[in-house]
Structure 1
Amino acid sequence: RMLGESEFGLYSLSASVIGYLAILDLGFGNAITVFSAKYAASGESEKALRLHGTIFSVYLVMSALVLLIGALVIAYADAIFGAKLSGEEIRKIRIMFALLSLNLAVSFPFSIYSSILTAHENFVFIKLIAILRTLLLPAIAVPVLLLGHKSVAIVACATAVNLFCVAADFIYCRRKIAPRISVRNFDAGVLKQVFSYSFFIFLGMIVDQVNWSADNFILGVVAGTTVVSQYSVAAMINSTFITLSVTISGVMLPKISKMVSANSSDAELTAEFIKIGRLQFYVIFLICSMLIIFGREFIILWAGAQYEISYTIALILVIPVCVPLIQNLGLSILQAKNKFRFRAIAALFMTFLNIAVSIPLAKLYGGVGSAVGTALSLVLLNITLMNFYYHFKIGLDMAKFWLNIARMLAPSLLAVAIILPINYALSLSGAAYLLVCGSLYIAIFTFIAVKLVMNDYERAIFGAALAKIRSRL
Structure 2
Amino acid sequence: MTHKAILTQKQSGVLLSYLNLIAKNIVTLAYTPILLRLLGQSQYGLYQMVNSVIISLTLLDLGFGSAYIRFYAKAQVSDDPDAERKLNGLYLLIFSFLALLSLIIGYLLVVNESRLFGTTLSVSELRTTKILMIMMILNVALTFISSVFDSNIIAHSQFKFQRSRQLFQTIITPILTIPLLLIGFKAISIVLVQTVVTVFFLFLNVRFSMRKLHMRFYFKKLDFSLLREVFVFSFFIFLNQIIDQVNWNLPSFLLGMLSGARDVAIFAVANQIKNIFISLSTTLSGVFAPEINEIVTTSDDNIRLTKIMTKVGMMQSTVLTFILGGFIVLGKFFICVWAGKEYKDAYWLSIILVVPFYVTLVQNTGYEIIRAKNIHQFRAVVEFIFSLANIGITVFAIKKWGLYGSVVGTVLTFVVVSWLIMNWFYQVRAKLNMFYFWRKVGVTLIPGAVSTTYLLIISKLYPIKSIVSFIGLGCIYTVIFVIVLCIIMLTNNWFDDIKKYTNRRGNN
Please report the TM-score for the alignment, with normalisation by the length of structure 2: 0.85
Match of 2:382 among 346, 351, 354: 346
- The answer (yes or no) to whether the contact 2:41–2:262 under 8 Å persists in 1 is yes
Q: How far apart are 1:364 and its partner, in Å?
A: 2.1
Partners of 1:245 and 1:291 lie apart in 2 by 16
Q: How far apart are 1:154 and its partner, in Å?
A: 1.4
Match of 1:228 among 264, 273, 279: 264
- The answer (yes or no) to whether the contact 2:68–2:151 under 8 Å persists in 1 is yes
User: In structure 2, what residue type is equivalent to 1:250?
Assistant: G
Task: Give the direction of change, closer, same or farther, for the CA distance of 1:291–1:428 in structure 2 (3 Å limit).
Answer: closer
Aligned to 1:332: 368
Task: Give the direction of change, closer, same or farther, for the CA distance of 1:73–1:419 in structure 2 (3 Å limit).
Answer: same
Partners of 2:107 and 2:96 lie apart in 1 by 17
- The answer (yes or no) to whether the contact 1:313–1:368 under 8 Å persists in 2 is yes
- The answer (yes or no) to whether the contact 1:54–1:185 under 8 Å persists in 2 is no
Q: How does 1:60-459 map to 2 (within 5 A)?
A: 60-184=96-220, 186-420=222-456, 429-453=465-489
Aligned to 2:506: none
1:165-186: CA deviation from partner (whole Å, max 9, x where unpaired): 3332222222321200354564
User: In structure 2, what residue type is equivalent to 1:80?
Assistant: L
Partners of 1:288 and 1:44 lie apart in 2 by 50
Partners of 2:175 and 2:245 lie apart in 1 by 28
User: In structure 1, what residue type is equivalent to 2:313?
Assistant: G
Partners of 1:86 and 1:266 lie apart in 2 by 57
Aligned to 2:45: 9
Partners of 2:400 and 2:330 lie apart in 1 by 28
Partners of 1:267 and 1:273 lie apart in 2 by 10
Match of 2:68 among 32, 35, 43: 32
Worse-matched range after superposition: 271-280 or 225-234: 271-280
Partners of 2:101 and 2:470 lie apart in 1 by 46
Q: How far apart are 1:93 and its partner, in Å?
A: 0.8
SS at match of 1:180: coil
Worse-matched range after superposition: 397-406 or 161-170: 161-170
User: In structure 2, what residue type is equivalent to 1:36?
Assistant: Y
RMSD, aligned α-carbons:
2.2
- The answer (yes or no) to whether the contact 1:121–1:254 under 8 Å persists in 2 is yes
User: 5+ residue gaps in structure 1?
Assistant: 459-473
- The answer (yes or no) to whether the contact 1:37–1:120 under 8 Å persists in 2 is no
Task: Give the direction of change, closer, same or farther, for the CA distance of 1:430–1:350 in structure 2 (3 Å limit).
Answer: farther
Q: How far apart are 1:228 and its partner, in Å?
A: 0.7
SS at match of 2:283: coil
Q: How far apart are 1:286 and its partner, in Å?
A: 1.5
Partners of 2:480 and 2:202 lie apart in 1 by 40
Partners of 2:469 and 2:163 lie apart in 1 by 31
Task: Give the direction of change, closer, same or farther, for the CA distance of 1:281–1:99 in structure 2 (3 Å limit).
Answer: same
User: In structure 1, what residue type is equivalent to 2:140?
Assistant: L
Q: How far apart are 1:277 and its partner, in Å?
A: 1.2
Task: Give the direction of change, closer, same or farther, for the CA distance of 1:341–1:171 in structure 2 (3 Å limit).
Answer: same
Partners of 2:381 and 2:265 lie apart in 1 by 31
Partners of 2:138 and 2:250 lie apart in 1 by 22
Q: How far apart are 1:266 and its partner, in Å?
A: 2.5
Worse-matched range after superposition: 79-88 or 420-429: 420-429
Task: Give the direction of change, closer, same or farther, for the CA distance of 1:336–1:299 in structure 2 (3 Å limit).
Answer: same
- The answer (yes or no) to whether the contact 1:408–1:453 under 8 Å persists in 2 is no
Q: How far apart are 1:89 and its partner, in Å?
A: 1.1
Q: How does 1:36-51 map to 2 (within 5 A)?
A: 36-40=72-76, 45-51=81-87
- The answer (yes or no) to whether the contact 2:86–2:219 under 8 Å persists in 1 is no
User: 5+ residue gaps in structure 2?
Assistant: 1-35, 496-508
